[in-house]
Every structure is written in C-alpha cells, then in structure tokens.
Structure 1
C-alpha cells in the first residue's frame, strides 16, 4: 500500500487533533509517510504541531511530522490536501454572528448573512490555495471542508471548471447518520443513505440497512415519540443539543424526510431569531468551551511528553470522515459518502450547474453520484431559492457587485426584507473591508 504525503491546511484548528488521532487509527487503510500542518497563525500552529509530534512518536513513529507557516513547504509533493481554513478567525466569526443579530436578523456561522460574509472571505483564500497546490503538487487531491461549504463549492466549480480532483465535503450528514444509528442500535457503517439537497440544506429520503430494509420510517417514529439528541451529546455545547432537538419540530411539520439540522434556520427564522442572544453567540460558547479545552489539553500533553492518558483528544465523526474519504480515493474502495458535486441531472428538476449534496460512491476517479430523480414542489422551491442566494453571492464576489450582494441577502429566507438586507450588507461591508473585494 502506498504511503501518502498529507498537508492539513488550518493545522492550528481545534479540529486538527481529532483528525490526527483518526489518522493513527486508520493506518491500516490509509498509510502515511509525511503529515504537514500548515497555518498562517504561528502560535496556534506551534501548540498543535508539538502535540502532533508527541502523538505520532507514540502511535506511529514512522510517520514524519512537520508544521509550518510557509506554503512553499506545505504544498510541495503532497498526495492529499485536507483543507479547513477559517479566514478571519474567531474575531470575524463573532462579527458574522453579532452584526446581523444587532439588526434583527439571524446571525449564524454558515447560514444567512453570517454565511454570506464568511463565504465572501473564504473564496479568495480558497482560490489562492488551489493555485498554489496545483503549482507545487499538480496531481494532489484537495478535500475541502472549509465553510460555508455550499458557497465555497460553487465558487470553486466556477473558478476551476476543469478541475476533477477537488472534493467538497461536510461532516453533518455523517453526524446525523451516527445519531440515527444509535437510535436503532445499528452500526452506522451498515447504512446506505439516500440524500438530496445543498450543503446544510438537505434531507435523507431513505436509510437502508444491510438487508435492504429502509429504516427511515422507524427512525422518524422514534424521534417523534422521544425527541432527538446527538450520539455524542455529552461532548456537545448546549446550542448543539437545542439544534438537534429541532429535528422533532421539523418532522412534525414536514414528515416526508429526515432533515439536516441546519434547515431550522430557514424553516423557522422568526422562532430561531427569538432564541438567539446578540451578546452571547456560538463564538463565545466555542471560545470558552472547545477552543479552551483542546488547547489546554494539547499544552498539557506537550508539557508531560505523552498523549496516552488523554480523554479530550480522540477521533470524532469529523476526523474519521476526512480520513475515510481519503482512504476510499487512495485505495479505490468505492465506499458511499454524502458529498457535493455538480448536479448535471442528478436531481432532474434542479439546475445542472448547482452544487448538490448527494450520496456517491467514492473511488480513485472521484465521486460517482447516485441519481435522485425528480423532487417534490416544496423541496424544489426551497432549494431553488437557496441556490439563487448562493449563485448571487458567488457572482457578487466575482463581479464586485453591490446589487447582486443585496439581491442575494434579500432572497435568503433568514432575511427576506430588502431594507433589512441593505442595513446588514452595509454593516458587513464595513466589517470586512480587509477581506472582501470592493462591492460597487
């Protein structure tokens, strides 16, 4: 089995230790030669990088570990790029959430105006990253987890239309499948899901087990009778528990399919707005929770010289997914994953150039998506509205168009009102002057 060279972009992220731990537990299916952690924040990168050296010295000493802030080092001669960058860091995420809330609109990291702002920041850095990777490692696979994935995926498809080695993925479908599996005491790897939508905007229509039986009706019944919690509830912040609980509400109103949790912001914008605190958002929760906990633990591991006793650093759904996706490509395993691909008739009554999120077999030649066919009027209407928002957002970036940016926000179901959209847009332009193209 070939030993792969990996670069993890956003190597100073709190998600990195989990991905690294997953790599150590999947070496039998995804062999490694070198891992490079790359981040522009030297202080964050050093903490995670030193942790990585200890982890691999104990669990896989044959793997070379490098951490750097030099992209010429990072992207040279790699087989896979794992990308999870956050342009602007937590300071800008806080503005994404709090500026819209201060103006009476939902503030959320990837949905609505927050996702719009984050998307316009992410596109520039993602475009630069792809060009740098292609210059230094022409044949590398780029596995992108950078948010907001829907906008980023669409932008990359427009910027690099001939690229066939960029794959955009999200762990929320996997998180949901793991939680569904726990409800019926079944191994999640036995599931064969049928899923359609856009990223953070989709539904499971069927979830087949290894016998071919559709378990979705049973899962829906359990949720409707007893609510819904994530399988890793004890590790989640309160906001995530509330997010999963909303699946029951969505099933009561729209019982056809099992929804992605993010749909709550689009289906119940007024209710969700009433539950959000403009002074205390997810960013604050993460800063005093996951952010603090992971960095304290990594510093403790570096100080003690061992990671063997850590109960904080473990491979989670995010880490496992990233490594399993890479393994399926590297070894042509053709396992099924929910991924983002150009529609091209997969959902027959949606635009061909939309980037849909669907189940696909994943092998050495990339994804082979499973056809969905025609979807119902309600779902088609919701998706077309959301796709129009995403498309106009990308056009606003590429054309530097204030009008298209205003159109995008006005269309978004979390905003709707054009006067609110203009106020939010103007405030976000002021906050993002260092990151956005000039909108005229």
Structure 2
C-alpha cells in the first residue's frame, strides 16, 4: 500500500507519522511519500519521520519529494494538508477582518473565505493530476475550509472524503470523562465542518444508550471550559456545540478578545520555528510534546481509520466525515457537504440517518450552507461581486457596509493568489 501526503513538509506531519507507526496493523503502509515544494522543511520533517518509523519498528519506506506527479504516482490514497500562502497568509486572514469589527479566523468568516479562494483552485489542480496519474486513488482532504474544499472535489467528480479532527477530539475527551475506551463512544455529530453539535453521546455503538445528559450533569463545567462558553449556555442548549460555535454565539466578545493579543498565526509561526529546530536534531525519534500545542490532535488516528476503511484494510465501519448530504438533512440540497457519522467502505461514505434538528441548529446550518454555495462559486469563477455576495451571506458579516469593506481588504491582501484579481 502506498500513501502520499501533499503538504508533507508541514509541522503537523510527525503527528501523522506517529499514528501510521503505532497503527501499522490497521493500515499496513509499505511506502509513504511526503510531497512539498519547501525542500528545506521537507528534509527536516522527512528525517524525523524516518526515525519515528525506525524506532517503532515500522518496515515501511518513507520518501520525500518536491515533484508532485512523482509523489502521487501509483498511490492508493492521497492526503491533502496544504496551506496556500503559509502562516503569513493565515496571519492576514486573522487580522484584517478585525479592522471591520468582524471575527478574524482562518476557516470561517471573511478569513475563511479568503482561504477558500486561495485553496480551491490549487486543490482542484492537484486532484486532476491525481486522476490523470491514478484514477482509482482516494483523496482524503484535511485542508481547510474542509467543507468547501471537499464539495469542490466531489463536484468535480473526484473520489474524495473530507476529514476533521473535531469529532475524534470530542470522542477522546468524553471517553476520558466517562471512564471508558474511545471505541465505546459514538457521537450523534451533526452539522457542517466547523459548525457542528453533539446531539448525543452513545455507549457501545450508534444505537447505544445516550449518556449525554449524564455527561453534562456530572462534567458540564469541564465540557464548557473546553468550549470557552458559560456552563449555563451549554446546559440550556442541551447539546455540546463545537468550539467553533463560539465565533457565532459570542461574536462581539471574541472580536474584542482577538484585538488584544497576537494572532494565532503569529503564535503558530513561532512554534513552527521551534519545532523545525527540534526536527533537525538527529537524536529526536519521536514527536515532541510541543507538537501537541500546534493543533491537529488525534488527526493521525482519524486519518488511519478513514484510509483503512476506504482501502479495505478493515477500519471502523462508522466514522465522522465530510461528504454529500444525499437527503440526510432534508432542508439542504443533496449536493451540500455535511459533517456527520457515515458508513465508510471501499465505495466511499454514506451518511447515517439523523434525527430532526431543532430550528436553532437547522437555521444556522442552512444559512452557512448558502454562504458556502456562494463561496465555492467565487473560488471557481472569481470576481469582486461574487466575493461580496459570499461575504454578505455569511452570518458573521451580513451587513452591506462590512461586506464592501471586507471585499476590498480580501482582494488587496490576496491578489498574488487570485488569478482573476
């Protein structure tokens, strides 16, 4: 089995490598190719990756290359984890929206739209090259904004499934609080990427006992603390919202908070510099503890589960993924991309049925889906007016004056990445 990781020079990658090494019986990788145009980073990450494999006794071969076509040739699956424009572009995404009194964030709001506009054309080019080289390969997208990018891939006819680590993070957290193993915890996880709610926490399987009321009663303070939301709000909702919902439920508070400190991108850039120095140490043969602060927790386990199921290696039959709606949420089009539990096998991902949603959740899902429609149209066709309409449609913007000002700033800060600008 051969896997290729596009964006393999990311400081995330040792987390992925660690998972591949530990879970080699679940996903027997014979060759792993790390593809990245940044040769200097790639060499450091690749060296550590080989040492991790060697220490854990993994027999697989790790190859590094800046040649995309060579790297993806004959791959059974291609994992996408790229960031167009790097941390510098992310820093802008998190900064200029604040000038208009709007949340600055890399995956939602105006910053998320900027990332989508930069990313979708690049990902579609990569996917087309994968299809020409190996039409049977699966594409696993971890590149944000995952929902929009995955929809672009599926709409273009690619064999693609989107992946996020929010659900597996909740699963691990809840398992610890409940004193059970993660495999015993199944989530009624419903929504869009980075706009989800845990409607139930079931023990033993998708049809098991729902212990969410017990979880909130006994551990509500811990859950709310992780979300950085008041306990009483979580109790009133009666569900566990993704921490990304804080941008919607406490927008003005978040804007004030973000305006008083360096951007997350600046923090990550400093962390990445330190990590790359560590990766260059020939004595380092495991992922460093600092990587846990970088983000992407449990990404490796989620990626291994998904790849093993898609490639027929015996992964879990039910997983939380991003895929076509296909009537699962009846108020959305069939070709909207949702993030829910799905049955995953060699044919792809089929969403499981979900209960009727409270209008409080369904309304916001519908609103953001409309934005994502317009965002994808802007990413595919370009044009100032399409950018403006997408921003006006976003519930974190939603005002004519803000949308006009944000459109000008978005284009000014991203001109080098927008072929039409």
Aligned to 2:228: 245
Once residues 384 and 363 of structure 2 are traced to their aligned partners in structure 1, the CA distance between those partners, rounded to angstroms, is 25
- 1:361: which partner in 2? 343
State how far apart, in whole Å, the 1-side matches of 2:260 and 2:374 are. 27
In the alignment, the residues of structure 2 paired with residue 309 and residue 75 of structure 1 have an alpha-carbon distance, to the nearest angstrom, of 25
In structure 2, distance between residues paired with 1:322 and 1:106:
30
* Aligned with 1:317 (options 268, 280, 298): 298
Q: What aligned pairs does 1:287-366 form with structure 2 within 5 A after superposition?
A: 287-289=269-271, 291-300=272-281, 302=282, 304=283, 306-307=284-285, 311=289, 316-330=297-311, 331-366=313-348
- Alignment correspondent of 2:148: 151
CA distance in 1, matches of 2:291, 2:389: 43
> How much has 1:370 moved relative to structure 2?
0.5
Residues 1:101 and 1:23: Cα distance change in structure 2 (over 3 Å) = same
Secondary structure of the structure 1 residue equivalent to 2:237: coil
Judge conservation of contact 1:395–1:401 (CA < 8 Å) in 2.
no
Aligned to 2:90: 93
**Distance across 2 between alignment mates of 1:9 and 1:249:** 43
- Tell me which residue corresponds to 1:107: 104
Displacement of 1:324: 1.8
Output the TM-score relative to the length of structure 2: 0.93
In 2, are the aligned partners of 1:349 and 1:375 still within 8 Å (CA)? Answer: no
Any conservation in 2 of the 1:346–1:369 contact (CA below 8 Å)? yes
SS across alignment from 1:109: coil
Contact 2:150 2:322 in 1 (8 A): yes
Write the distance in 1 (CA, Å) between the matches of 2:232 and 2:3: 42
Does residue 221 (structure 1) correspond to residue 217 (structure 2)? The answer is yes
Residue 119 of structure 1 is matched in structure 2 by 116
Instruction: State the number of aligned residues.
Output: 415
2:58 paired with 1:77: no
Residue 195 (str. 1) matches residue 189 (str. 2) = yes
The answer for the alignment partner of 1:17 in structure 2 is 14
Change (3 A) 1:294 1:421: same
C-alpha distance in 2 between matches for 1:313 and 1:100: 28
Judged with a 3 Å threshold, the aligned counterparts in structure 2 of structure 1 residues 228 and 186 are, in CA distance, closer, same or farther, namely: farther
The answer on 1:275 being equivalent to 2:272 is no
Change (3 A) 1:332 1:397: same
> Which residue of structure 1 lines up, in the alignment, with residue 170 of structure 2?
176
SS at match of 2:46: helix
Residues 130/12 of structure 1: CA separation in 2 closer, same or farther (3 Å cut): same
Counterpart-to-counterpart distance in 2, 1:219 and 1:213: 12
What displacement does 1:299 show? Answer: 1.3
For structure 2, which runs of at least 5 residues remain unmatched after alignment?
Answer: none
Q: Distance in 1 between matches of 2:183 and 2:358?
A: 29
| Structure 1 position 225, deviation (Å) | 4.2
TM superposition shift of 1:55 = 2.1
SS where residue 79 of structure 2 aligns? Answer: strand
Q: Name 1:392's counterpart in structure 2.
A: 374
C-alpha contact 2:43 2:64 (8 A) present in aligned 1: yes
Q: CA separation in 2, counterparts of 1:69 and 1:334?
A: 33
CA distance in 1, matches of 2:143, 2:42: 17
C-alpha spacing 1:198/1:250, structure 2 compared with 1 (3 Å): farther
TM-score of the pair, normalised by structure 1: 0.89
**Cα contact 2:318–2:341 (8 A) shared by 1:** yes
Distance 1:227 1:61 in 2: 37
Aligned partners of 1:276 and 1:391: how far apart in 2?
28
* 1:327-372 Cα deviation digits (max 9, x unpaired): 2222244422111111111112222221111101212222122011
> In structure 1, how many angstroms separate the alpha carbons of the residues matched to 2:196 and 2:223?
20
**Regions of 4+ moved over 3 Å:** 222-230, 247-250, 308-316
Map of 2:244 onto structure 1: 262
Matched with 1:235 is: none
Change (3 A) 1:375 1:403: same
Q: Distance in 2 between matches of 1:414 and 1:379?
A: 16
Corresponding position of 1:414? 396
- Helix, strand or coil: the match of 2:392? helix
Q: Decide whether aligned partners of structure 1 residues 296 and 168 sit closer, same or farther in structure 2, where only a CA change above 3 A counts.
A: same
